[in-house]
Amino acid sequence: MPASPFAVSGRVEAPPSRRDRSESPVRGERGEGASEAHVGGWGYTSPVIDRIAGVLLAVEPAALVVEVGGLGLWVEVTPGCAASFADQVGSPVRLLTHFLFSGQELVPRLFGFRTPEARALFHLLRGVSGVGPSVALRILGAQATPAEVAAAIAREDARGIKVKGVGPKIAKRVISELKEKVGGVLSVSLPGPAAPPVAAAATPSDRAVEEAYLALQGLEFDPVRARAILEQIRSDRADASAEELVREALLRA
């Protein structure tokens, strides 16, 4: 595998777990009709740069520039994600990432996400035929939060994912393929104080609620509303799994 142009001496963290690695794209992924680099027959979409930690140098409308080891990395993000960092220029930041080469010129691209759930939703979108990385990122940023995008898909609301590059056929395909899957965007928390552990729970039902709550937080769902909706769902369906709770919460959002 060729050396990454992003390989630096600074702090670029390796994937910490099997589950994080499983979120990464698989063999032969392509985007926007452009071919990706192939190494030994594999589409070169690499989980090597799983996350970065550095100093935020600049905030662009849909990108962040993060200094890592003396290099300024251009990280593509949604407009909402970029806006959330507007007051953090000059401060240390951490981002989950997805790194790939695409196109005939083997152009490296680095995509950034605040939470594992946002990244998982990005990968779900990329798995839909006709949706490449740029379109997936635009869909992810179609609403103020990833939770609203997931809710639009769960409710089969094509208007909620209408962005440039997504016509009626692709919108219908996204909804058809993902409406039953968005509930599976469960929490794989980034280590650190911003990622509270799942609370100790007395019953499987309680654990499912806590897991669903963390997943909704990762999608930037309003925490008070998330608690209220989950309690309502549990009163109706005491045996619901965490995945079922998330999907039902998105439907009721």
Q: Domain boundary at 69, 91, 114, which?
A: 114
Q: Can you give the pLDDT at residue 195?
A: 40
Q: Domain boundary at 114, 139, 160, which?
A: 114
Residues 96 and 189 in one domain: no
Kindly state whether residue 147 falls inside one of the protein's structural domains. no
Kindly state whether residue 167 falls inside one of the protein's structural domains. no
Residue 60: pLDDT band with limits 50, 70, 90: very high
CATH code, domain with 83: 2.40.50.140
Q: What is the mean pLDDT of residues 133-162?
A: 93
Cα 236 → chain centroid:
30
Residues 9 and 110 in one domain: yes
Residue range 76-112, pLDDT digits in tens:
999 999 999 999 999 999 999 999 876 655 788 999 9
Q: Can you give the pLDDT at residue 102?
A: 66
Kindly state whether residue 195 falls inside one of the protein's structural domains. yes
Residues 193 and 98 in one domain: no
Residue 129: pLDDT band with limits 50, 70, 90: very high
Q: List Cβ neighbours of 233 (8 Å cut-off, separation of 6 or more).
A: 240, 245, 248, 249, 252
Residues 191 and 98 in one domain: no
Kindly state whether residue 150 falls inside one of the protein's structural domains. no
Residue range 2-34, pLDDT digits in tens:
334 343 334 444 444 434 433 433 333 334 433
Residues 110 and 28 in one domain: yes
Tokens at 192, concatenated: 């650190």
Give the position of tokens 């280590």: 191
Residues 110 and 190 in one domain: no
Kindly state whether residue 171 falls inside one of the protein's structural domains. no
Q: What percent of the chain has pLDDT over 70?
A: 72
Q: Domain boundary at 114, 131, 151, which?
A: 114
* Distance from C-alpha of 18 to C-alpha of 15, rounded to nearest angstrom: 8
Domain limits at 43? 1-114
Q: Can you give the pLDDT at residue 207?
A: 85
* Distance from C-alpha of 90 to C-alpha of 109, rounded to nearest angstrom: 23
Q: Can you give the pLDDT at residue 186?
A: 60
200: pLDDT strictly greater than 90: no
Residues 110 and 189 in one domain: no
Q: What's the mean per-residue pLDDT of the chain?
A: 78
Q: Name the domain count of the chain.
A: 2
Residue range 217-243, pLDDT digits in tens:
888 888 888 899 998 988 888 888 888
140: pLDDT strictly greater than 60: yes
